[in-house]
Structure 1
Amino acid sequence: MIRIVLIGLWICAVALGTLFFTVKSHMPASGDAGEKASYLGGIDYATTDVFSVPIMTDGSVAGYIIAQLIYTVDIKMKARITVPLEYFVKDEIFRQFYGSYSDTKQVEKVDFERVRKSAIDGINRHFPEPVVRDLLVEQFTFMPSSEIREMNMKSIGKRLSEH
């Protein structure tokens, strides 16, 4: 009986020692990487859902921008915010594109660097300190209304042929 208890204690000691040395080896050195670790440790990222913004020309929908974005945020500020930041990101992109183009050719030549900087500034304007650090593109596509109608018609035809 004593032998079994000693074997159990030995196994626990080895497991705790392994855990201690693993954690110790993954900690950054205090002098050389302290500043870099604090900068990287203070940023988080999130991805928006896929969303669309209608592009209006001559009073009708000419197409849609379909986007999914990734934004990096300051963790401390994110913890203090009660409204999801995704709402602010989507709203700012919507404001930048809705009603801003009179020709779809302009949308296809969009300067995303200008849009990115303007969107970050517009989002951070809502907060006392900057929250969003960067805005990255996961998906950003312009789809003309004619292509969407064509896809819908094919889908309807396929469903009708199945019945």
Structure 2
Amino acid sequence: MIRTVLIGLWICVVALGSLFLAVRGHMPASEENEQQRSYLGGIDYVKTDVFSVPIMTDSSVAGYIVAQLVYTIDSKMKTRLTVPLEYFIKDEIFRQFYGSYSDTRQVEKVDFETVRKSVIDGINRHFPEPVVHDLLVEQFNYISAKEIREMNLKAAGGT
């Protein structure tokens, strides 16, 4: 009889222990962990279309910057925007490069980290709270006008 009671108590202790651990595992995390979880879970990565910016030297087109970028935006903020954010990104990149270089060798040595920070700051300046959290490079190339002419000549001669 004592053996049966001890087995019954043992089963009750194991059941209560399991219940305690299950409830404790589902308790809300601390506020800091909750903010981090909502931040990481609420970020969208949006890819821009491929776009180009002409590089002008001596009043003529010396080449093009061809870019495709990925930006991170808060999911809640994305739903509140009425104008696509891609327009602001293209505008900021265009302002950075159009008419800013007198020598194409300068363009080929661009420090993208400086450009990235400047573009993020320029976009966020248009809004009351920061919208873009990060800007990542999918594609960022400089193609000279000479290379484009050669590609066009090959394409025209090959058909």
Whether these two folds match at TM > 0.5 is: yes
* TM-score bracket for this pair, using the shorter chain length: 0.7 to 0.9
Aligned length: 133
State how far apart, in whole Å, the 2-side matches of 1:29 and 1:80 are. 31
Q: Which amino acid aligns with 1:143?
A: I
1:59 and 2:97 aligned? no
TM-score normalised according to structure 1 size: 0.77
- RMSD over aligned CA atoms reads 1.6
Report which stretch shifted further, 33-42 or 87-96.
Answer: 33-42
Paired with 1:77 and 1:34, the residues of 2 have a C-alpha distance of 19
Query: Matched residues in 1 for 2:151 and 2:100: separation?
Result: 26
Partners of 1:110 and 1:87 in 2: how far apart?
22
Identity of aligned residues (%): 73
Deviations 1:3-45 (A, max 9, x none): xxxxxxxxxxxxxxxxxxxxxxxxx863264232111122111
Superposed counterparts of 1:1-163, under 5 Å: 30-31=28-29, 33-159=33-159
After superposition, the Cα gap between the structure-2 partners of 1:29 and 1:57, relative to the gap in structure 1 and judged at 3 Å, is: farther
Where does the alignment leave 5 or more consecutive residues of structure 1 unmatched? 1-27
Structure-1 separation of matches of 2:45 and 2:146? 35
Structure possessing the higher radius of gyration over alpha carbons:
2
Q: Secondary structure at the match of 1:102?
A: coil
Corresponding position of 1:24: none
Using the alignment, how far apart are the partners of 1:145 and 1:83 within structure 2? 33
What stretches of structure 2 of length at least 5 have no aligned partner?
Answer: 1-25
Q: Output the amino acid matched with 2:36.
A: K
Instruction: State the distance in 1 between where 2:67 and 2:27 align.
Output: 41
Tell me the distance in 2 between the aligned counterparts of 1:141 and 1:68.
Answer: 9
